[in-house]
Amino acid sequence: MENTVLDISNNVKIRGLLVFNHLLGGYALYTAFSWNLLLLSYIIGFTLGGVGISIGYHRYFAHRTFSTNKFFEYALLAIGHYASLGSAITWVGVHREHHANSDTENDPHSPKYNGVLRTLIHVWKRYEIKLKYIKDMLKDNKLKMQHQYYFLILFAFIVALLLLVGPVYAAYLYSIPAAYVFYATGIVNSINHIGGKPHNIPLLNLITSGESYHLNHHNDSKAWKFGTYDPMSPIVRIIKNEN
């Protein structure tokens, strides 16, 4: 795995998953629109993005801003998996390189060089994630296993969900929330870096689960609380080990 080229922009499986989620979500919204179910999708998406990505992939695995026990570590990894933005190893590798080269030509997803729209929809250049950014991750067997079997696990989950609840409920319970997380992450990468530098835009936290205190995060990437009204900070406070 150490020598694997992790293709961010042209990964056929990731792009296929995105197309599937948009098609299934569009089908459900067109044939069985429901404000109540759409609200449920928002709650699930906000939770997936907040707990799985913001707390799990970002604050815990990428920056190690807090420590926790094994139960919560596995739970964060599982929720992040369900959010469908790729394995923790891939996500962390991209994110650490972003911090190392923020808003330069070597930033994987700077809107200054990549364009706002392309960054919003995660169309980035193809590049190899450097070993130095994921060396610690490759020492963790569960993270290597999640990376190796990422799509198999997700495919099994989607098939099981379709069989259990049918396409409409599968869309509201999974596809629409996963698409929500995709665009929420894109908003952070694009809008919160517009003009070639990070910004705090607190109102966007209603979508991005606290990630739009983005200037604060870049100023202190080791802080587990991003800002005054960070909606994920109470959860971190509960699950983190006291030092």
Domain range list for the chain: 12-239
Burial of 144 (0-12, 13-18, 19+ CB in 10 A): middle
Tell me what pLDDT residue 10 has: 47
| pLDDT bucket at 122, cuts 50 / 70 / 90 | confident
pLDDT score, position 126: 62
Contact indicator for 148, 1 with CB cutoff of 8 Å: yes
Q: What is the pLDDT of residues 164-216, one digit of tens each?
A: 999 999 999 999 999 999 999 999 999 999 999 999 999 999 999 999 999 99
Q: What are phi and psi of 221, to 5 degrees?
A: -75, -10
Give burial (CB, 10 Å; 0-12/13-18/19+) of 126.
exposed
**pTM of the predicted model, to two decimals?**
0.93
On average, the pLDDT of the chain sits at 92
Surface-to-core class of residue 98, CB atoms within 10 Å of its CB (0-12 exposed, 13-18 middle, 19+ buried) = buried
Strand-pairing partners, residue 213, are 200
pLDDT at position 128, please? Answer: 74
Model confidence band, residue 243 (pLDDT cutoffs 50, 70, 90):
low
pLDDT value of position 196: 92
Assign 127 a pLDDT band (cuts: 50, 70, 90). low
Which pLDDT does position 123 carry in this prediction? Answer: 80
Nearest Cα neighbor of 100 from 121, 126, 130 is 130
Name the burial class of residue 27, with classes exposed (0-12), middle (13-18) and buried (19+) by CB atoms within 10 angstroms of its CB: middle
Integer CA distances (angstroms), 138 to 8, 79, 126, 157, in order: 18, 20, 21, 25
131-144: pLDDT as tens digits: 899 999 999 999 99
pLDDT of residue 65: 97
List of residues 6+ apart from 45 with CB closer than 8 A: 176, 177, 178, 179, 180, 181, 184
pLDDT at position 1 over 70: no
**C-beta separation of 108 from 127 below 8 A:** yes
**Exposure string for 36-65, b = 16+ CB within 10 A, e = fewer:** ebeebbeebbbbbbbbbbbbbbbbbbbbeb
On the question of pLDDT at 33 being above 80, the answer is yes
Band (pLDDT 50/70/90 cuts) for residue 222 is very high
Residues 6+ apart with CB under 8 A from 184: 45, 49, 207, 208, 209, 211
Extract the tokens encoding 67: 């420590």
Range from 3-17, 23-37, 75-89, 101-115 carrying the lowest mean pLDDT: 3-17
Contact 190, 119 (CB under 8 A): yes
